[in-house]
Amino acid sequence: MTDVPDPDSDSVGLCARCKHVRVIRSDRGSIFYLCRRSATDPAYPQYPRLPVLFCRGHETRESNSAGNSQ
């Protein structure tokens, strides 16, 4: 598992650059984008349908904080 998504991924949309994302890689190679806002606000889907083009809770991750807390 990692918290650093590919920032250039157009297929992911806003989640690729959001500070609230947690990237989960399965043993079979699948990649899932978990919205950590969903843990405290039911308005956010746990695993949003991609690409996310609009999200009222999106906050761009700062470039120097690649290691997000889990």
User: How do residues 46-68 score in pLDDT, each as one tens digit?
Assistant: 999 999 999 999 999 987 544 44
Residue 33: what are its φ and ψ, rounded to 5°? -110, 105
Q: Which residue matches tokens 């590919």?
A: 6
State the Cα–Cα distance between residues 65 and 32, nearest whole angstrom: 20
| Rg of the chain taking only CA atoms, in angstroms | 11
Q: Cα–Cα distance between 70 and 53 in angstroms, integer?
A: 24
> Position 49: which residue type?
R
**How would residue 70 be classed by pLDDT, with cut points 50, 70 and 90?**
very low
What average pLDDT does the structure give for the chain?
A: 85
Q: How far apart are the first and last CA of the chain?
A: 10
